């Protein structure tokens, strides 16, 4: 479903890392927030509805099952994403640049 956007995101990730190293000297930091599943209208949208219908269960039941698969046992809340973004935009995050920050409740299985 996300095949085309995955390629674009990979390119953007590389671009962010490269340009961030050039702008930080001017106190301009650039980072990428990489969200996992968040409790949004998009999460509950057409794909979720189609899967729930195919399985013969409610959307809420299907999403509850999906949430349990995340190590956090839930989906992220939009304000958590906003607060992470606000922190990175603040002066106290001025030494963080060129990073890809996962906001996924621990879903990514890697160590870096």
Condensed to tens digits (0 to 9), the pLDDT of residues 59-105 reads 999 999 999 999 999 999 999 999 999 999 999 999 999 999 999 99
- pLDDT value, residue 62: 95
Answer yes or no: is pLDDT of 16 > 90: no
Q: What is the pLDDT of residue 63?
A: 96
Of residues 111 and 99, which shows the higher confidence score?
A: 99
C-beta neighbour count of 33 within 10 angstroms: 14
Sorted by where each begins, the domain ranges of the chain are 1-36+76-112, 40-74
Cβ neighbour number for residue 31 with a 10 Å cutoff: 19
CATH architecture of 1-36+76-112: 3-Layer(aba) Sandwich (3.40)
Global pTM reads: 0.82
Q: What is the pLDDT of residue 111?
A: 80
């Amino acid at each position: 479903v996300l095949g085309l956007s995955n390629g674009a995101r990979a390119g953007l990730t590389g671009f962010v890392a490269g340009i961030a190293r050039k702008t930080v000297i001017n106190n301009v930091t650039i980072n990428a927030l990489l969200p996992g599943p968040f409790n949004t209208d998009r999460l509950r949208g057409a794909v979720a509805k189609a899967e729930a219908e195919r399985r013969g269960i409610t959307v809420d039941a299907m999403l509850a099952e999906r949430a349990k698969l995340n190590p956090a046992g839930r989906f992220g809340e939009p304000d958590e994403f906003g607060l992470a973004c606000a922190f990175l935009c603040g002066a106290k995050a001025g030494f963080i640049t060129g990073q890809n920050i996962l906001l996924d409740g621990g879903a990514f299985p890697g160590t870096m």
